[in-house]
Amino acid sequence: MLLFHKKTAPPLWEGKTSLYAFIRAQGENVDGSLPDDGEYWAGSRIRWVAGGLDGAMSRQARPGRAANGLEEWVQLLVKLTGKRGQAARKTLYAKLIATDLGDVIDELLGQVREHPRIRPQVLYREALWLAETGAHRQAVKFGLALLGLFRNEQVKELLMMLGRHDEFTLYAAVAMLNGMDAGNEALWELAQHVHGWGKIHLVERLEPTRPEMAAWLLRHGCRNTIMPEYSAYACASKGDLRQALAAERIDAELLEGATDILGALMAGGPAENIDDYAHAPQALADFVRLAGAMPASGVKQLLLLLEIGEFCAGDAESWALRLRAVWTERQRCELEAACRAVIADKRWEPKVLEAVRSGDADEFLYGAMCAGKLGIDIWELLFGQLEADPLQERHYMLLGQSADPVRLRRLIAFAEERLPLERIANGPAQESGLGREHAAHRCLDNLLLVAERLEGLGTRLVVAGLNSPVVSNRNKALQVLESWDVTMWGLQLAAALARLAENEPNAAVKQRIHRLKDSKAKGYDKTTRYGKEGT
């Protein structure tokens, strides 16, 4: 008699590189990629930067799932730590990959901690296995979360290594804080190795128990590859920025760090801003004093000085609120006067021009922004740089801010001659415009904003925009046509719009095309009719 055995599917981790091994092999240069990227982001039009999805979700309230939805997870862990461990491991792993536990993980861990049938020693081994062997990020994150329920100094190397990848820093940090006596020291150590969302999470949780920690927060804590605004308030408060800037002299690193912190607080955005910082009057006044006196001050400091001056001259409604909070009118007036005095120094214009010529991307941007605020004419300088390299998207943005129509026509003519318009216009698609391969498309975006103000000029640019695979190009080209009188379109534009109406793959853009044609119906029909008669 033949016996037929049902062939079971191999475990989902089998034959795949563990994420821990992948990160460890990268050494000091841990990038944002993971081996499961393709599988994890499959079908998604947006791919978040490492740690970005967890970072964004941790900063907004989300309605938690019903508590009864957790019972299935708890029972899986009961089986995992019982006699059916191996079968339960496969089931749990598959469920982890298919589920986002982010909004209920804390509640689940609370139930796990109290459940009498979950065997702690076995659960610890399984948590360690998930973190060390998992080939999918959800499995590794769950393993890290479970390790936070136990004393885990003995696996510090594992936690530190996984934490060096921004996708796992948050989970490793919470595990170390919960499972180590020296968890704060571990966070401080890890903070030296991360630069994106991981650094933001660590700065948020780090307690400066030693002077060097506070010094690091002030000098380096705010700088990250995401947004310094997320960390500015924590650095100012925990590092005691007010006290540090009250000194008669400070070092250049502190000046740089204070510029980052105060600049981010002034910018506002997704986190606390300058109006949330109780010591703003003293800190800003001391910054102006120090920036004016220190030779190390450059265009980055000048830009903040200009922004502080604008802040002081801000709208009456905002200042009415500030004067009822921590400010006095005298502090405001003295700060504004001090800013004016420092900004009036003759040393700044040469520094601005030097920065614009520097070739350093950050220095260039600071210099260009300062030039705009101070009225220093750098248009010809920028145009000369653009002639040497026509794919500099920032240059089109800055040059396009001119109010001189002669200069703007010159810019449009240059772009029509030097941009690879045929390569840009290879047909409508759903491209985002990110990446080096779309540098020319981003240049076109900035140019179309200029063409919107110059009715009838830049037709070749608008046609290229309508035929571009990048959605923003097509939207901006439509924006140009919306602003122009239809009699200025010409046959070439009318024909390009007609083709796009048939081929547009994006539903929202297609709807916009129909609205545009309806709003310009009389002139559009006339233009297209003449075009057909002439062909």
List pLDDT tens digits, range 245-290.
Answer: 999 999 999 999 999 999 999 998 889 999 999 999 999 999 999 9
Greatest extent of the chain over all pairs of C-alpha atoms, in Å: 100
**pLDDT value of position 532:** 41
Nearest to 442 by CA among 403, 492, 505, 394: 394
Whether 5 shows a pLDDT value over 70: the answer reads no
- Whether 528 shows a pLDDT value over 90: the answer reads no
What is the mean pLDDT of the segment spanning 27-44?
90
Residue 6: per-residue pLDDT:
54
Please tell me the predicted confidence (pLDDT) of residue 7: 60
Task: Quickly state the pLDDT bin for 1 (edges 50, 70, 90).
Answer: very low
Tell me what pLDDT residue 524 has: 57
Q: Are 138 and 110 in contact (CB under 8 A)?
A: no
pLDDT, average across residues 426-430: 95
Q: Is residue 318 predicted with pLDDT exceeding 70?
A: yes
pLDDT at 363: 97
For residues 221 and 203, the answer to whether their CB atoms sit within 8 Å is: yes
Torsion angle, alpha carbons of 422, 428, 434, 440, to 10: 20
Count the alpha carbons within 13 Å of 480 in the hemisphere toward its beta carbon.
33
pLDDT in tens, 484-505: 999 999 999 999 999 999 999 9
Whether 388 shows a pLDDT value over 70: the answer reads: yes
Query: Directed axis angle between helix 459-466 and helix 405-418, to 10°?
Result: 50
Given a cut of 50, whether residue 535 has pLDDT beyond it is no
User: CA 282 → CA 189, 274, 304, 311, 319, distances in Å?
Assistant: 32, 12, 16, 15, 16
- Residues 139-153: what's their mean pLDDT? 96
Across the chain, mean pLDDT equals 92
Q: What is the model's pLDDT at position 530?
A: 45
Measured distance between the N- and C-terminal CA atoms of the chain, rounded to whole angstroms: 81
pLDDT tens per residue, range 320-378: 999 999 999 999 999 999 999 999 999 999 999 999 999 899 999 999 999 999 999 99
Among 402, 496, 389, which Cα is nearest to 439's? Answer: 389
Structural domain spans, the chain? 19-36+71-207, 209-340, 346-376
Cα separation, 302 vs 306, whole angstroms = 6
- Compare 212 and 12 and report the one with higher pLDDT: 212
Residue 190 has a pLDDT of 97
Tens-place pLDDT, residues 346-362: 999 999 999 999 989 99
What is the value of pTM for the model shown? 0.88
Euclidean distance between CA atoms 395 and 412, whole angstroms: 13
**Length of the chain measured in residues:** 535
Encode pLDDT of 406-415 as tens digits: 999 999 999 9
Which tens digit of pLDDT belongs to each residue from 456-483? 999 999 999 999 999 999 999 999 999 9
Q: Answer yes or no: CATH 1.25.10 is held by domain 19-36+71-207.
A: yes
Place 177 in a pLDDT band, splitting at 50, 70 and 90.
very high
Query: 3-class DSSP state for residue 470?
Result: strand
For 431, the 3-state DSSP assignment is strand
Q: Position 506: which residue type? A: N
> DSSP strand E in 464-504: where?
none
Residue 68 has pLDDT above 70, yes or no: no
